[in-house]
Amino acid sequence: MMPEFGKYTVTILGSWGATLALLAGLILVTLMRGAKVKRALKAQEERMKTDG
């Protein structure tokens, strides 16, 4: 299934690997920060509701 890249294996796998790793990191950071802020905002709103 894996195509044969010959002498360009490092070029192709290196560039695709770096791309996919950076995109995965960006998506992960986006989702993690989104969830963290959402949780913190909910907790703050709950606290302010309880405290009046």
Partner 1 sequence: MSIWEYANPVKFMQTSGWLLPWVVGATVLTLVPGLVWGFFFTPVAAEFGATVKVIYVHVPAATLAINIWVMMLVASLIWLIRRHHVSALAAKAAAPIGMVMTLIALITGAFWGQPMWGTWWEWDPRLTSFLILFLFYLGYMALWEAIENPDTAADLTGVLCLVGSVFAVLSRYAAIFWNQGLHQGSTLSLDKEQHIADVYWQPLVLSIGGFGMLFVTLLLLRTRTEIRSRRLKALEQRERMA
Least distance in angstroms from the C-beta of 47 to partner 1:
8
For residues 37 and 41, give the distance between their C-alpha atoms in angstroms, rounded to a whole number: 6
- Distances in Å between the Cα of 45 and the Cα atoms of 27, 41, 42, 50 are 27, 6, 5, 9
Using CB under 8 A as the binding rule, whether residue 28 contacts partner 1 is answered as: no
Using CB under 8 A as the binding rule, whether residue 11 contacts partner 1 is answered as: yes
For residues 16 and 22, give the distance between their C-alpha atoms in angstroms, rounded to a whole number: 10
Using CB under 8 A as the binding rule, whether residue 40 contacts partner 1 is answered as: yes
Question: Given the rule CB under 8 A, which residues bind partner 1?
Answer: 1, 3-8, 10-12, 14-16, 18-19, 22-23, 25-27, 29-31, 33-34, 37-38, 40-41, 44-45, 47-48, 51
